[in-house]
């Protein structure tokens, strides 16, 4: 299956109009489970459903005017993680507006697996800002956070996508969490 996905991604990159319809059945279940994991970590205010998140992310990845360029299956799923992140951030920003309850109180984020589980929109926006700053300092760490938090990949799965050892991934995950915590506390 990995070969099929990579071949179809190459076909999409080369403009094959049929390739996106062949790709979706191969990746849908995995994207859906990643979105479902992510949505369980969202606050109760989140109205977007996992299926809608997957469809929106997929359309952004292979539809429209975007020129798709993925090196492999892992790169595609990293792009999917980024796309899901952007969709959730956009949703949080829309909900933050004054007519939709934009006067929410900002809370500090204890960036660990448990605290991330129930983040509100304000916290998600603060995390996004800190993550953007982290990407400027170390894009690989930012990508790791996206894969772990926004798609819910395990340490081993993240290590495989990033092409590093699980031990390195675990160490970098601990560092990235501490870095984000410090950044978010300083911005309050």
Summarize pLDDT for 87-128 with one digit per residue, the tens.
Answer: 888 887 777 665 545 554 544 444 444 344 445 667 778 888
Which domain covers residue 105, as residue numbers? Answer: 2-187
| Number of folded domains that form the chain | 1
Output the pTM of the full model: 0.54
Calculated CA dihedral for residues 1, 146, 142, 164, nearest 10 degrees:
-40
pLDDT, greater one: 184 or 105: 184
Percent of the chain with pLDDT over 70: 77
Would you state the pLDDT for residue 115?
A: 42
Round to whole Å and give the CA distance between 150 and 81.
6
What is the overall mean pLDDT for the chain? 77
* pLDDT of amino acid 47: 67
């Amino acid at each position: 299956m990995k070969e099929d996905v990579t071949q179809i991604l190459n076909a999409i990159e080369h403009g094959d109009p049929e390739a996106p319809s062949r790709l979706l059945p191969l990746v849908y279940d995995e994207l859906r489970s990643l979105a479902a994991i992510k949505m369980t970590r969202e606050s109760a205010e989140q109205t977007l459903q996992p299926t809608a998140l997957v469809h929106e992310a997929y359309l952004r990845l292979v539809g429209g005017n975007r020129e798709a360029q993925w090196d492999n299956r892992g790169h595609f799923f990293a792009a999917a993680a980024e796309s899901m992140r952007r969709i959730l951030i956009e949703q949080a920003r829309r909900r933050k507006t004054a007519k939709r309850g934009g006067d929410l109180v900002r809370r500090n984020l204890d960036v660990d697996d448990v605290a991330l589980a129930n983040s509100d929109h304000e916290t998600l926006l603060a995390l996004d800002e800190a993550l953007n700053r982290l990407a400027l300092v170390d894009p690989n760490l930012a990508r790791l956070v996206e894969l772990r938090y926004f798609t819910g990949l395990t340490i081993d799965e993240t290590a495989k996508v990033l092409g590093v050892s699980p031990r390195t991934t675990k160490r970098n995950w601990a560092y990235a969490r501490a870095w984000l915590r410090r950044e978010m506390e300083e911005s309050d």
